[in-house]
Structure 1
Amino acid sequence: MSKPPPAPPLPAPPGPAPVAPQPCLSADARPTTAWTRRTAVASMLAPLLLPGGRALARDRGPGALTDVRSGYQAVAAPAGEVLAVAMPAVRRGGLDIVGEGGRLVIPDGRNAGSGPLNLKGQFSSVELNGIRLDLPRDRITDGIGLWGKSPQVTIRNSRVTGVHGQQDKRHGDGIQVGNDAEIDTLVIENCTICSAYQAMIAHRTPNGKGLSTLVMRNVNVRDEPDLRVQLSIALLLGDKPTTGPKNAPYRIVLDNVWVDWPSQDHALQLPVGATVVGAVKFGVPPRGDFCPA
């Protein structure tokens, strides 16, 4: 008797379903559960949310940013993938993250706060998602400060409000590229900045500090008239040759960028010789803020 034919092999299990891009949700609509992620180089992290806005990782695997709390804090981000855990409530005070060569990912969640978020040191890449910063009206501070080095930084689905100040005194910026920062490509998409001074300041210097490429996609800037003291430039993307040393040209892409400002002449300043794709639109996007409150 002949042997029966062998059974056909079992089909391979299906791969993970593709993840659709997440919309920019309001703080009330965003999930309150902590975000976890499995990677080949980092073990599974299951954050524990503790009273007072603290977040600790149950498994302190490689690259786990394990102690993020409310109040001013400076934390080191070790090499390997870094996980910054979403806050369970609005955090107070600034947060400085100092990179040591690894990748930084802040996931979309309740990343709300009333103080600046500053990135210093060196990162292999940076992804900031769903950041919400409502800055204090009784003191002046920046929103997101980029002071370190990275081949690419992406800021996505984020909103900064309450920026204000004066040119001859202290002033804030919604997003600031620091004097000695070295970033090859900065991508800002689906973001809203509300400011009474500058929404963003960026540059490139003749010795290579600053940006090589800036991409702004679906970004809108709103005036904060109740906080305004003097007229200022909404998007200050470089000095003029006569106004400062941050005047080297670089590549700038403006894709659906809107500026609602007291003066159209003060919506944008570019360095001489910059390669610019696109243009700024004056006013408010037809469907409102790209990242609503």
Structure 2
Amino acid sequence: MQTTAPIGLFDSGIGGTSIWKEINLLLPNENTIYLADSKNAPYGLKSKEEIIALSIKNTEFLLEQNCKLIVVACNTATTNAIKELRAKFKVPFIGIEPALKPAVNQTKTHKIGILATKGTLNSELFHEKVKSYTNVTIIEQIGHGLVQLIENGDIDSIEMYELLTTYLQPMVDENIDYLVLGCSHYPYLIPQIKKILPRHIQIIDSGEAVARQTKTVLAEHNIKNPNTQNGTNVFYSNSDTEVLQNILGCSKKVSFFDF
């Protein structure tokens, strides 16, 4: 495997760019290819079998582009398909999961909230994690409709604010002091979320931790890019490319693909 080969990332849309941004910030010399499967978003409403099939197709696309490592930049795909992906393909995989551990370790009220998709909260992997945290109350909330609004570019809409208020206010009333964002789309909602939550409630997402893990895995497999200049970053979407381009900034080119 060439060390200059790109890191591949995929998500059920634009949300995984929140993970890409953290990786690009920590490892600016690495080449990357990002795949937004927006046509099939959200994964959170699909069956486990559908999620696995889509994750395999996404991985095959990225491997055709000679990617040296795959970041599954989607909580739902990770919790439902990462085991199957690692069994089927030889390339290293990095998954993302809701960052419950730091919230559990730091909570003072012993109550934390998690906002995630149905697919993540109903997954076997998530339930295994939750069972190990016996000293805290974890308040789960499915973010019905949030991914669709983000994919439509309606992050700052009144509808988004009202939905978030409906989901978050009961957690506030239950006295949580940490909110875990269990979907890679949701970091883009932090400005809206901060308008709703009291200041003392901390918001946690997985982006920085995934970037650090990516750096570690590159080193473990001896596939770090030795080049010191900034790498090239390529973006693909199988839906309207404009929303993805807006999230990334107008200087980034997004190519259309279809499957």
**TM-score, with normalisation over the residues of structure 2?**
0.26
Bigger RCO of structures 1 and 2 (CA < 8 A, at least 6 apart): 2
Structure number having the greater helix percentage = 2
**TM-score, with normalisation over the residues of structure 1?**
0.24
User: Which structure has the greater CA radius of gyration?
Assistant: 1
